[in-house]
Amino acid sequence: MFDKFYRLNYWRLGFQSRLYDLLTPEAYRESARRCVQSVPVKKGQVLLDVGCGSGLLIEGMNDRLDFGLRYLGVDIQISGLIRAQNKAEKEGSVSLFQADFTHPLPLKKESVDIIAAHFSLYTIADRERRKKILSGLVELLKPRGLMVIVNPSREYSAKKIIRESVGLVRERNGAFSAWVKKLFLYPLTTCLGLKFIEKQLKADQWHAFSFNELCEEMESAGLVVVHSEPVYAGCAHLVTGRKVQTQVAYPPL
Ligand SMILES: C[S@@+](CC[C@H](N)C(=O)[O-])C[C@H]1O[C@@H](n2cnc3c(N)ncnc32)[C@H](O)[C@@H]1O
């Protein structure tokens, strides 16, 4: 009962209270950075962030927005979109809209160059439903467009995520910051967030993927896998797929 209430309101409460951003472990930010940086961009291209939440991807993208990338973020939670708007330094290049990605999104087919789905599609536990959503998203991609998906792996472990996060903070901000995060912030991250997610994944309320399963789902939606890497302390898979060009069927001569 409590789990169901928490699951349904998890992101709304997190975005509204700002705890989502405050408690985000460094390894998750690094995964968001990899998600953005692993995709080459050209000037004028459009990137659609599906389930953009509070816009963590925007944080790692400012150089690309300066370079001429256009960012389009969609989420069901208005509270997340408000936070994302605050992160958008270059207003002109960032657009946000509210929609439910389990229904067709109000965008033209073949209008998007890149789609990123960073920890969003795993919230759909049912495989057939997920496949249908994925196929709908692939329709929005231009021919040879790229889709980068990051989803939790079957090895998801709060302990590993925190260990890697403390290491990353130590490297980047020094031992004192790492110590503060380890003692004061990350215990909250663990009990309010990571342990809850771990439980939902074990119960298959949200879905933890094997690498092959994620690749297979992407391929059956019309993508060819072009890149993959473990992220988030090995607790997630990052897989990039390129849209297969539609075959033109010529009549026999
Ligand atoms: C784990 S959060 C990830 C947010 C962001 N991508 C990030 O990495 O910080 C999952 C996001 O998916 C969004 N989401 C879940 N189901 C959705 C749906 N049916 N339509 C649109 N957004 C959805 C949630 O509101 C939430 O913001």
Answer whether residue 3 shows pLDDT above 90: no
For ligand 1, pick from 75, 103, 161, 205 the residue to mutate: most ligand atoms within 8 Å of CB. 75
Average pLDDT on 225-248 reads: 92
- Ligand 1 atom nearest the C-alpha of 116 is 6
- Ligand 1 atom nearest the C-alpha of 101 is 20
- 251 in any annotated domain: no
The two structure tokens encoding residue 222: 């019309």
- 249 in any annotated domain: no
- 111 in any annotated domain: yes
- 148 in any annotated domain: yes
For ligand 1, the distance from its centroid to the CA atom of residue 174, given in whole angstroms, is 32
For ligand 1, pick from 10, 11, 137 the residue to mutate: most ligand atoms within 8 Å of CB. 11
The two structure tokens encoding residue 39: 């995709």
Nearest to 39 by CA among 109, 160, 144: 144
Tens digits of per-residue pLDDT, 40-73?
Answer: 888 999 999 999 999 999 998 988 998 899 999 9
Total domains in the fold of the chain:
1
CA atoms of 124 and 50, how far apart (whole Å): 13
Q: Is 139 in the pocket of ligand 1 (CB under 6 A)?
A: no
* Structure confidence at residue 193 as a pLDDT band (50, 70, 90): very high
Task: State whether residue 133 is helix, strand or coil.
Answer: helix
- Percentage with pLDDT > 70 across the chain: 96
- Domain extent, residue 132, equals 2-243
For ligand 1, the distance from its centroid to the CA atom of residue 100, given in whole angstroms, is 10
- Ligand 1 atom nearest the C-alpha of 102 is 19
Residues in the chain: 253
Answer whether residue 248 shows pLDDT above 90: no
Q: Is 118 in the pocket of ligand 1 (CB under 6 A)?
A: yes
- 170 in any annotated domain: yes
- 216 in any annotated domain: yes
Task: Please report, for the domain that includes residue 125, its CATH number.
Answer: 3.40.50.150
- 174 in any annotated domain: yes
Specify the pTM. 0.95
Nearest to 94 by CA among 82, 76, 79: 82
Q: Is 30 in the pocket of ligand 1 (CB under 6 A)?
A: no
- 69 in any annotated domain: yes
pLDDT of residue 223: 98
Tens digits of per-residue pLDDT, 150-168?
Answer: 999 999 999 999 999 999 9
Answer whether residue 249 shows pLDDT above 80: no
